[in-house]
Amino acid sequence: MRCRAGKRTERSLLRAVGAWAGSLSLELRRQEGDDPDMRATATAVVGLVTVLAMGACAHRSDDRRAPVSHNAPPARGRILFIRGDEVYVMNADGTGQRKAHMHVPYGEALPSPDGRWIAFSRPGHLYVAHPDGSDRRQVARGDPSYDCFYPGWSPDGQRLVYQQGCEVDFTSMFVIDRDGAHRRRLARGFWTVAPSWSPDGQTILFAGIPPSGRGPWALYLTDAHGGRPRKIPGSSSQPAGQFTFSWSRDGLSVFLIPHDESLYVLNRDGGGLRKLSGRLRKVYAFAVAPDGRRLALQAGIGKGWDIFVINTDGSAVHQLTDNHAVDRNPAWSPDGKHIAFASNREGNYEIYVMNDDGSNQTNLTHSKGDDEAPAWLADH
């Protein structure tokens, strides 16, 4: 029997088992004179076969798409998410949802690597605070009419890199201590977008255009303490609005989505450009697993967006969600056994969590508004 996931399969299977049970019951009446003990035995057998058949279908469906098989325990820890313009924090099972008292009209809220701080911004101001909203500190200021910051944490959680300016032709890049001290401007004269730290904390990766203003956008590396930026050969993309990128966990490579909406990996020195997304028609976003071996993707093979997992060499593409809704913003748990994501499968966007093989997809928020941008807080 060929098994496919879904309610239709369950109904068909139950109808088939029911028909078999009816035939068995008629045969028992004919042979045993409608003996009650025989009817009880038949009922028990029917129930056992039903359970085994349904379990076989569920098991085969999971095995068909599972990248791992380790029976993940219930998710633990805390998840940050954005509801409207406010930051919320909840337990990984959906309990304890509470407002963090951080207003984020730009949707910027980034936990520090150790989970102790959240960097967030509102027009003209960059702040850090603890996840409960306490000990709020202003880190940087700008013009409320156009400044946004898009901050990134250093691996040790002691410093921030940020851009100042929302328009791509007016942006500048700075590094600053978490308490607002020792601000330094980097890549002077460049137009800069989305800076991020290397895993060793020594280098800043950013998308930019050189001071001449000529040429397409490309990826650059600059020393975190200053110095002239170095272009990564083969990393050009146009326009910048369709340019997503991130370090590999070992800092030797960069994953990127340029203008063609495909996923690539590139050595930090510019060699070894390889396409990873294969049969996927488009890739919008991705997250690198904590062990650095897998990527969770927001990608599509048809009209919608679903969550996929692939190995970082492009092998073993596994589709974890499959519906007509939009599933997006995948985020790995710190232990790499669960993935949080946002989905509008029930109408509005809610935060879901699932095992890393796609099983046990659970709505955590059950709110009337939209909940988006999940991020796990590391235990400390």
DSSP readout, 233-259? TT--BS-GGG-EEEE-TTSSEEEEE-T
3-state secondary structure of 53: helix
The answer to whether the beta carbons of residues 283 and 308 sit under 8 Å apart is: no
Would strands 264-267 and 274-275 be described as parallel, antiparallel, or unpaired?
Answer: antiparallel
Q: What number of residues does the chain have?
A: 380
Q: How far is Cα 144 from Cα 127, in angstroms, rounded to an integer?
A: 14
Whole-Å CA distances, 101 to 54, 97, 132, 379: 47, 12, 8, 21
The answer to whether the beta carbons of residues 144 and 124 sit under 8 Å apart is: yes
> How far apart, in Å, do the first and last CA atoms of the chain sit?
49
DSSP letters for 285-339: EEEE-TTSSEEEEEEESSSSBEEEEEETTS---EE---SSSBEEEEEE-TTSSEE
pLDDT at 263: 94
pLDDT at 63: 34
3-state secondary structure of 205: strand
- pLDDT exceeds cutoff 60 at 244: yes
- pLDDT exceeds cutoff 90 at 107: no
- pLDDT exceeds cutoff 50 at 75: yes
What confidence tier does 373 reach under pLDDT thresholds 50, 70, 90?
very high
Q: What is the pLDDT of residues 284-327, one digit of tens each?
A: 999 999 999 999 999 988 778 999 999 999 999 999 999 889 99
pLDDT at 36: 44
pLDDT at 240: 52
The answer to whether the beta carbons of residues 268 and 310 sit under 8 Å apart is: no
Domains of the chain (ranges plus CATH)?
7-60 (no CATH), 281-380 (2.120.10.30)
Residue 320 makes CB contacts below 8 A (sequence gap 6+) with 65, 306, 307, 308, 309, 339, 354, 356, 357, 358
* Residue 376, CA atoms < 13 Å, CB-side half-sphere: 25
Task: Specify the higher pLDDT residue, 288 or 16.
Answer: 288
Q: How far is Cα 280 from Cα 276, in angstroms, rounded to an integer?
A: 9
Average pLDDT of the segment spanning 172-196: 91
Average pLDDT of the segment spanning 84-97: 95
What confidence tier does 10 reach under pLDDT thresholds 50, 70, 90?
very low
- pLDDT exceeds cutoff 90 at 26: no
Average pLDDT of the segment spanning 160-189: 85
Read off the DSSP letter of residue 63. H
- Phi, psi at residue 29, to the nearest 5°? -60, -40
3-state secondary structure of 44: helix
Q: What is the pLDDT of residues 110-140, one digit of tens each?
A: 999 999 999 998 888 999 999 999 999 999 9
What confidence tier does 238 reach under pLDDT thresholds 50, 70, 90?
low
Percent of the chain surpassing pLDDT 90: 59
pLDDT at 355: 97
Beta-bridge mates of residue 129:
118
pLDDT at 241: 52
Q: How far is Cα 73 from Cα 77, in angstroms, rounded to an integer?
A: 12
The answer to whether the beta carbons of residues 285 and 272 sit under 8 Å apart is: no
Residue 261, Cβ neighbours under 10 Å: how many? Answer: 16
What confidence tier does 239 reach under pLDDT thresholds 50, 70, 90?
low
Task: Specify the higher pLDDT residue, 240 or 376.
Answer: 376
Place of tokens 């027009």: 123
> Which of 80, 73, 143 is CA-nearest to residue 112?
80
pLDDT at 49: 34
User: What is the dihedral sign for C-alpha 253, 332, 325, 105?
Assistant: negative
Residue 298 makes CB contacts below 8 A (sequence gap 6+) with 283, 284, 285, 286, 305, 306, 307, 327, 328, 329, 330, 341
Least confident of 2-16, 129-143, 199-213, 245-259: 2-16
Q: How far is Cα 210 from Cα 169, in angstroms, rounded to an integer?
A: 11
Give per-residue burial for 212-230: e unless 16+ CB within 10 Å, then b.
Answer: eeeeebbbbbbebeeeebe
The answer to whether the beta carbons of residues 276 and 314 sit under 8 Å apart is: yes
